[in-house]
Amino acid sequence: MFNFFKKKETGHIIGSPAKGKAVPLKEVNDPTFAEEMLGKGAAVIPEDGKIYAPAAGEIGMVFETLHAVSMTTDFGAELLIHIGLDTVKMKGDGFTGHVKSGDHVKKGDLLLEVDLEKVKAAGYDIITPVIVCNTPDYASVKGIESAHVNAGDDLIIIS
């Protein structure tokens, strides 16, 4: 009647795929991510090598080199989780996949494991951007400011 008790749409939350330090995309040392060419989002500097699903949805693609995963959340956000910078050059060395294209995952399911020390020893940055590739479909896509996060903690708010 007066809509007093109607729940307001507060948006959707994308969780952190890893435990670590959350940072704005502008701090990623790669213009493709820092200048939001692929979309808006946030990044995490992971403390351990476990990468989890940041939301419920379907895995779109697991790159052959296991350095990145794409997924579509149940509410339609198209995400790219990119582990490290230039890690495609490692050709999968140090990466272990736990999902495949077409799998439906719940928030918190283990997607990949990565040997962060091996990545660092190979000379690559371990920062892990999480991008909302269909950013124009939403009114707002905001990554949280710098903070320590656990896997699953709020990282990106979409409305």
DSSP 49-106: SEEE-SSSEEEEEE-TTSSEEEEEETTS-EEEEE-SSSGGGGTTTTEEE---TT-EE-
Catalytic position from the list 67, 82, 98, 104: 82
Contact between 83 and 111 (Cβ < 8 Å): no
Q: Which residues are CB-contacts of 126 (< 8 A; sequence separation ≥ 6)?
A: 45, 46, 83, 84, 114, 116, 119, 120
Residues in contact with 149: Cβ distance below 8 Å, sequence separation at least 6, in sequence order: 16, 19, 20, 21, 22, 44, 155
What is the identity of the amino acid at 152?
A: G
**Phi/psi of residue 88, nearest 5 degrees:** -55, -30
Q: Is 82 a catalytic residue?
A: yes
Active site residues: 82
